[in-house]
Structure 1
Amino acid sequence: MNILFASPEVVPFAKTGGLADVAGSLPVALKQLGHDVRVITPKYKVTDGKTFHLTPVVESLDVPISNRMETCSILEGTLGDAVPVYFIKNDNYYHRDHLYGDSQGDYPDNAERFIYFSRSILEACKAVNFAPDILHCNDWQTGLAPVYLRKIYQNEPVFARTASVYTVHNLGYQGLFWHYDMHLTGLGWDLFTPNGLEYYGKINLMKGGLLWADLISTVSQKYSEEIQTKEYGHGLEGVLQFRSADLYGIINGVDYSLWNPETDPHIVQNYSVDDLSGKLACKRDLLKEFGLPVNDSWPVLAMISRLDDQKGFDLVAEIVDTLMNMRQNLYFLILGTGHERYHKLFSHIAEKYPKKFGVRLEFNAKLAHKIEAGADMFLMPSRYEPCGLNQIYSLRYGTVPIVRATGGLNDTIKTFQPNANKGAGLGTGIKFNAYKAENLLSAIKNGLKAYKEKKSWEALMIRGMQEDFSWSASAKEYEKLYKKAYEKVHR
């Protein structure tokens, strides 16, 4: 199939979040399945043309915005060994220090910037003469592309056989803008209705993708169910219920060439499912990194996360003193940045418990690898989590996840049952359901209890290390989804 993958950010060219990782990996995995895959993304200031060997393929392309034309050019680079990437270059829109905003907030013209990008996706196909079977759009920044496909470009020869797929990576970010920006779309005010792009008096760009794409996906089966409820739907649960027959959940893959204890260059000693001896060396190295005294018998509980309520830090704040004062000693390590109140709280806790608690208020990729390798348990008590990746990394490193049963955390972690399977045990991690501090504390206590049973604990580690969440498996699921979308359009 001919597949055009549209994303506002792509690793290694530009990144603010997990979408960029998906966009940098899934197209490569689809290419390996034999498809002609191409990627399209804006050319940001951070994307250095010389570093990535970008070459011009279209010198000048007029793209409609409102009642005028804005000119861009198209550059081409390569993802992996052989996936072409088209960059929409318009310096007025994209040559800025950040992708979506700065310390003052979102850029005030984000509506115009990404309405333009959505329209340029379709115009670029015509300009480079690429006829996609599948147009795969991602998040609010590309939400209007499926609308343009159906409303304006449907009868163009290059799109005669094109079906669209729209993926929601986080429903919390919808691309909401005031209604005066509607003229920028060029779609006409007849689409500014509750059955169209209108959302409580504003334009909702994500709603466009949800209503006009042929099929919709999100990044776990559980999350696809959750977002149809008021609790998780962020006001779009009615739209998602309306499209429920066309809504699918596919777990993100991970890049095991980067996250693998057998080959990881960032850890003090490599180890494998067949030889776990290096994990103790990694634990000792991690504790020294945090300036904590080393006691091999104390388990290490760790978190790598943005410090905010969505990630469960309001629950952690309630129980952290209890954890530090329990009869069973443990270390608790946190890496990340976020809300100032958590910066202050955890800095205070580190001073209060200098031999047990460590915090680094930063983003540090090397230390993240050391934590995955050196910790015994990894904590993810999220309020909601569309997919999550760290729990999958933790499995591969033999670091037992303790997670709330939401979204991708629920779908990727199998509940630990120590007495099942004739006493050999089943499962890969510990889960809790209700979003309450006492439930989180109980889950951690269950982990500490299990940690004491060394033989059972090692079996739990090994089961996790044997799980496979590689992109090749996820790509095959997307391949099935593309075929369904194509058949829906052509039946």
Structure 2
Amino acid sequence: MSLNVLFVASEAVPLAKTGGLGDMVGACAGALQRAGLHVTVMLPGYPAARMQLRDARVACALPDLPGGPARVLLGAMPDTGVPVLLLDAPALFDRPGSPYLDACGEPYADNALRFAAFSQAAALVAGGMRGLPAFDIVQAHDWHAALVPLLVKRAGLPVRTVLTVHNLAFQGNVPLRVARDLGMPADAVREAEFFGQFSFLKAGLLWADRITTVSRAYAREILTDTFGYGMQDVLRARRHDLVAILNGIDNTVWNPSKDAYLSRPYFTADLSGKHAAKRQLQALLRLPEDPHTPLLALGSRLTHQKMADVALRALPQLLEADPRLQVAVLGCGERSYERGMAALAARYPRQMAATIGYTERNAHMLHAGADLLLHGSRFEPCGLTPLYAMRYGTVPVASRVGGLVDTIADRGSPEAALRGATGFLFDGDTPEAMIGAVERALRVFAQPRAWRILQYNGMTTDFGWSQPAREYLALYATLAPRATPMPHLQHWPMRATQPPLALPASRLDTAPVRKPTRRRRTTALSDAARAHAVAYAATREKIRA
């Protein structure tokens, strides 16, 4: 397939990662490249990403970008060689902390400006900048890039767009005045209004040519009032453009037979290396080294979505009921949950350890050394952590929601392991439901033959990227080929208020939105916003001419 595809995302491994989004973008791009597609990844130019970029050079300049002048750097991923474009905008991205949060864990006040400017730069690149190829398809990932389909359509570019929703609860909702200050046209502000705010994500859902989600079950769930987070009506209206493609995992990175983080790699026919990894993990966490005791891991973010509150109530009961049970926590998230896990570890020092934070080394050791993975979730678009666990022979105990339904087979009894079971699922978000599922798993753990079959089933299930890559290629084939290239775009009509806006911290990427309960009337646009829209349209016509 001779298409040029541009991935636009806020993170991609190995250059930037805070969670599953980064894993997916980096691994999917590599898989598509191996399948013969011309794919390029565009990211914000975080300092760490610039340091890792291979063969970097300046491709073009963007002197009029909102938030200050910027450059586009062209290079390659250090591991796969996938071409990468970094938006080198120091005023926006040269900051301490994570891509979204400052050093104190608070959202950057100007996140809306940062990612609006990033989206504008991506739209310019997609249309064809001097020194860069033109692209046929742009795939925008989550709200951070969700303005790209709108900007591409508004500029009349012959580029098809795909919006991939990794988590519908993160929507990039900002006050309407912020959208006006960013130069959004009046009708776009009106159409993307969401309960009195402007929604980056809704704009993408409205203007993208196709919408994808990362599992089949999640694609069904987001059409419902329970899981739609206020976007269900928009998604129902576009259900014929909604495509579900299950995320994969990078089998070259998550491979127990070749894992550099492990002292003794292992494979399905010989799990002695996994036993060694368990001893190593117990020693690292200062837990009693016992090969026969069940070791339960928690490796997800410590948030309300991931049921950290439920785990804090369930774990003491499990630890009291089984004095041999060990629990290992690796993760970070909301401070109250971090403190709660640390307090539990102090309360049960011989049974539980909590490591607040995240490193790739510790994540690999956790999946290799644990016997079970506890993965509660109130909603789960895909759920990569259980896939990593199964790859390493660690049996998941998880919520029956979203992608977990697609990837974990719970057959209901130990004997059913022979029929392809890979884990244990529970319904609801109560401690009783979580405890019941863990106790079911522990009963099977006490039956070595059945447990070994569960491990084998999980380790031999193919969760790689080969099949998802084929499905993405099929999706791209449904989009029309590129038309005649547009003239080179020197400028873009969107302008931001200068100096950069001091926007209120609106929790743009730290917590999901609350489910709306009633519809508000769209806020009327001011005369200034209307004038701004007229100026926007006039500038656009000049560009198109």
2:479 to 475, 479, 485: 485
TM-score normalised to structure 2 length: 0.82
Instruction: Name the SS for the 2:256 alignment partner.
Output: coil
Confirm whether residue 137 of structure 1 aligns to residue 140 of structure 2: yes
Kept after mapping to 1: 8 A contact 2:323/2:351: no
The alpha-carbon deviation at position 365 of structure 1 amounts to 2.6
Aligned letter for 1:24?
G
Q: What is the distance in 1 between the residues matched to 2:205 and 2:211?
A: 7
The alpha-carbon deviation at position 61 of structure 1 amounts to 3.0
Confirm whether residue 23 of structure 1 aligns to residue 4 of structure 2: no
Q: Which residue of 2 aligns with 1:225?
A: 220
The alpha-carbon deviation at position 34 of structure 1 amounts to 1.1
Q: Which residue of 2 aligns with 1:432?
A: 426
Instruction: Name the SS for the 2:418 alignment partner.
Output: coil
Aligned letter for 2:91?
N
Report matched runs for 1:137-176 at 5 Å.
Answer: 137-154=140-157, 159=158, 162-176=159-173
Counterparts in 2 of 1:361 and 1:109: CA distance versus 1, 3 Å: closer
Q: What is the distance in 1 between the residues matched to 2:227 and 2:289?
A: 42
Counterparts in 2 of 1:141 and 1:469: CA distance versus 1, 3 Å: same
The alpha-carbon deviation at position 336 of structure 1 amounts to 1.7
Q: Which residue of 1 aligns with 2:517?
A: none
Aligned letter for 2:386?
Q
Confirm whether residue 110 of structure 1 aligns to residue 104 of structure 2: no
Q: Which residue of 2 aligns with 1:456?
A: 450
Structure 1: 5+ residue runs without aligned partners? none
Aligned residues: 477
Question: Cα deviations across residues 409-458 of structure 1 (Å, max 9, x unaligned)?
Answer: 2211111344667x834311111122222111111111011111111111
Kept after mapping to 1: 8 A contact 2:261/2:365: yes
Kept after mapping to 2: 8 A contact 1:417/1:425: no
Aligned letter for 1:471?
W
Aligned letter for 1:163?
R
1:77 to 75, 78, 90: 75
Q: Which residue of 2 aligns with 1:13?
A: 15
Question: Cα deviations across residues 89-141 of structure 1 (Å, max 9, x unaligned)?
Answer: 22222222242231262222222222222121121232145332211111111
Aligned letter for 1:131?
A
Q: What is the distance in 1 between the residues matched to 2:414 and 2:349?
A: 37
Structure 2: 5+ residue runs without aligned partners? 484-545
Report matched runs for 1:323-472 at 5 Å.
Answer: 323-327=318-322, 329-418=324-413, 424-472=418-466
The alpha-carbon deviation at position 284 of structure 1 amounts to 1.9
Question: Cα deviations across residues 231-255 of structure 1 (Å, max 9, x unaligned)?
Answer: 2222212211221221122222212
Moved more, 352-361 or 32-41: 352-361
TM-score normalised to structure 1 length: 0.91
The alpha-carbon deviation at position 51 of structure 1 amounts to 5.8
Instruction: Name the SS for the 1:216 alignment partner.
Output: strand
Kept after mapping to 2: 8 A contact 1:165/1:485: no
Q: What is the distance in 2 between the residues matched to 1:294 and 1:429?
A: 25
Report matched runs for 1:230-379 at 5 Å.
Answer: 230-327=225-322, 329-379=324-374
Counterparts in 2 of 1:63 and 1:476: CA distance versus 1, 3 Å: farther
Counterparts in 2 of 1:487 and 1:443: CA distance versus 1, 3 Å: farther
Counterparts in 2 of 1:111 and 1:51: CA distance versus 1, 3 Å: closer
The alpha-carbon deviation at position 303 of structure 1 amounts to 0.8
Q: Give the fraction of aligned pairs with identical amino acids, expressed as a percent.
A: 34
Counterparts in 2 of 1:150 and 1:298: CA distance versus 1, 3 Å: same
Kept after mapping to 1: 8 A contact 2:214/2:403: yes
Instruction: Name the SS for the 2:47 alignment partner.
Output: coil
Q: What is the distance in 1 between the residues matched to 2:93 and 2:463?
A: 34
Aligned letter for 2:112?
A
Instruction: Name the SS for the 1:149 alignment partner.
Output: helix
Instruction: Name the SS for the 2:262 alignment partner.
Output: coil
Q: What is the distance in 1 between the residues matched to 2:196 and 2:466?
A: 42
Counterparts in 2 of 1:420 and 1:297: CA distance versus 1, 3 Å: closer
Q: What is the distance in 1 between the residues matched to 2:258 and 2:368?
A: 12
Q: What is the distance in 1 between the residues matched to 2:201 and 2:322?
A: 50
Provide the aligned C-alpha RMSD in A.
2.4
Q: What is the distance in 2 between the residues matched to 1:296 and 1:100?
A: 41
Aligned letter for 1:119?
Q
Counterparts in 2 of 1:55 and 1:368: CA distance versus 1, 3 Å: same
The alpha-carbon deviation at position 76 of structure 1 amounts to 0.4
The alpha-carbon deviation at position 387 of structure 1 amounts to 1.4
Aligned letter for 2:142?
D
Instruction: Name the SS for the 2:17 alignment partner.
Output: coil
Q: What is the distance in 1 between the residues matched to 2:346 and 2:315?
A: 13
Kept after mapping to 2: 8 A contact 1:420/1:426: no
Counterparts in 2 of 1:487 and 1:420: CA distance versus 1, 3 Å: farther
